[in-house]
């Protein structure tokens, strides 16, 4: 039994089984949470799922491929505005706006595709730049986006922004009680419905990103991150892969923008400033560059912290109520995750994913040492002979040879 426990293949199989069990348990808990938690946490969770999707997309670009981008806020804005314009109606009071009146699901798909198209248009520039030069070039998209959002009033609503149309699929509304849905005597209102919508979308985003990273194109992207020259020598189409990863990252950002618009109910130009791009960089640095799960955890930390602080501002020390002098919830959250970034860079450069990996390796080493000790103890020589065993046999004594026998052999 101890030999089986110490076998690497057996340990790998046990680890996979435990991982699958942990994922199943986590999904069961997430599916059951709407039956037990308040509406605030459900709406916060929906906003967090949108941030997770955007962070995973940026991590594919920055962490997996090594391409610095500060334009993530621009692609979020493209996805959000496209959804609002495509699903909205023509009208307005102070500012006249127009819309296509398409089904919300179609508008969501259009938002994702439009963001990806913008990323594909920018990809030729990204394919010829790298490092800080690519970061500065992508920064220009944020300023262009701010100008367009403030001046294109008929589409964006101008400085005041625009209300987000509610999301629905085949007559099932997610932002209202139509049709009425009750499960286990619990009415499933807008918060519960949006919670499950966010879970479905973020699960699909994580599944696609994990499969992409483990596939042949994913290995090519990691080779690009390590050395573009080595990747070109190995036959990797450097410019082609850079364009494709910008396309995928932008589509992730477009879906994140749609969820962001649905979570807050309206969008304004100030919602997509450079600060938002910096926040997404903070998410992937905290979570761990190159880690899909790390990006999701970092996004949950950075995006949920201001909302939690704002909810409990009255009971937390040193945090002022909105509109009163002092440190407000958003500032306190920025200070906290800024400090977390400094600590991570100093003591754990691989982020939360690296910390989890280190703890897992420590547990495996300790388990291996215990198994090795038990195996050595089980094989200790006790001086007993077991059936079929040749170990621990006493040496055969050497018989003295007589002179007569020696003479016979000589003759």
Residue 282 vs residues 55, 306, 344: alpha-carbon distances, Å: 9, 14, 11
The Cβ-side half-sphere exposure at 410, using a 13 Å CA radius, reads 7
To 10 degrees, what angle do helices 274-287 and 292-311 make? Answer: 120
The more confident residue out of 4 and 20 is 20
- The reported pLDDT for the residue numbered 287 is 87
81 pLDDT higher than 90: yes
pLDDT at 333: 80
Task: Specify whether the CB–CB gap between 111 and 140 falls below 8 A.
Answer: no
Enter the tokens of residue 198. Answer: 């966010």
DSSP line for 155-216: HH-GGG-EEPPPPEETTEESSS--S--EETTEE--HHHHHHHHHHHHHHHHHHHHHHHHHSH
Under DSSP, the state recorded for 91 is B
- pLDDT at residue 316 is higher than 80: no
Q: Is the pLDDT of residue 209 over 80?
A: yes
For residues 397 and 42, the model is more confident at 42
pLDDT computed for residue 7 by the predictor = 56
Q: Is the pLDDT of residue 395 over 60?
A: no
Q: How confident is the model at residue 401 (pLDDT cuts 50, 70, 90)?
A: very low
**What does the pLDDT read at residue 405?**
44
- pLDDT value of residue 255: 95
What pLDDT is stored for residue 60 in this prediction? 92
**Per-residue pLDDT tens digits for 43-80:** 899 999 999 999 999 999 998 888 888 999 999 999 99
The reported pLDDT for the residue numbered 13 is 62
pTM of the model: 0.81
CB 76 within 8 A of CB 268: no
Quote the longest CA-to-CA distance of the chain: 130
| Segment 103-148, tens digit of pLDDT | 999 999 999 999 999 999 998 888 788 888 888 888 889 999 999 9
pLDDT in tens, 317-375: 777 766 677 787 777 887 887 888 888 878 877 777 777 777 777 777 776 666 666 65
Segment 377-387 mean pLDDT: 51
pLDDT at 390: 45
If you average pLDDT over each of 68-72, 189-193, 399-403, which comes out highest? 68-72
- Pairwise pLDDT comparison (227 vs 62), residue with the higher score: 62
């Amino acid at each position: 039994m101890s030999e089986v426990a110490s076998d690497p293949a057996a340990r790998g199989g046990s680890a996979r089984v435990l991982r699958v069990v942990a994922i199943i348990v986590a999904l069961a808990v997430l599916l059951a949470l709407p039956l037990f938690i308040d509406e605030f946490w459900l709406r916060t969770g929906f906003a967090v799922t949108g941030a997770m999707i955007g962070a995973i997309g940026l991590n594919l670009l920055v962490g997996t491929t090594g391409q610095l981008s500060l334009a993530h806020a621009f692609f979020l804005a493209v996805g959000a505005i496209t959804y609002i314009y495509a699903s909205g109606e023509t009208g307005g009071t102070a500012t006249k706006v127009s819309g296509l009146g398409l089904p919300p699901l179609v508008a969501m798909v259009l938002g994702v595709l439009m963001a990806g198209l913008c990323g594909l248009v920018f990809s030729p520039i990204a394919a010829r730049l790298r490092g800080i030069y690519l970061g500065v070039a992508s920064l220009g998209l944020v300023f262009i986006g701010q100008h367009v959002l403030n001046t294109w009033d008929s589409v964006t609503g101008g400085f005041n922004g625009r209300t987000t149309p509610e999301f629905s699929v085949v007559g099932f509304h997610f932002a209202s009680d139509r049709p009425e849905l009750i499960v286990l005597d619990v009415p499933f209102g807008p918060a519960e419905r949006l919670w499950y919508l966010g879970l479905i979308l973020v699960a699909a985003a994580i599944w696609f990103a994990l499969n992409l990273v483990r596939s042949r194109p994913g290995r090519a992207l990691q080779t690009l991150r390590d050395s573009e020259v080595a990747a070109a020598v190995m036959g990797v189409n450097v410019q082609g892969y850079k364009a494709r990863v910008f396309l995928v990252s932008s589509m992730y950002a477009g879906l994140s923008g749609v969820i962001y618009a649905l979570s807050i109910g309206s969008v304004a130009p100030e919602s997509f400033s450079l600060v938002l791009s910096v926040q997404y960089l903070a998410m992937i640095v905290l979570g761990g560059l190159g880690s899909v799960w790390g990006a999701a955890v970092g996004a949950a930390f950075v995006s949920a912290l201001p909302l939690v602080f704002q909810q409990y501002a009255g009971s937390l020390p040193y945090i002022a109520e909105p509109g009163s002098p002092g440190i407000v919830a958003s500032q306190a959250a920025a200070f906290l995750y800024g400090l977390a970034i400094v600590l991570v860079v100093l003591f754990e450069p691989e982020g939360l994913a690296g910390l989890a990996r280190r703890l897992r390796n420590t547990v495996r080493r300790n388990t291996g040492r215990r198994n090795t000790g038990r195996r050595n103890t089980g094989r200790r020589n006790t001086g007993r002979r077991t059936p079929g065993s040749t170990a621990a046999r006493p040496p055969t004594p050497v018989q003295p040879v007589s002179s007569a026998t020696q003479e016979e052999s000589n003759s």
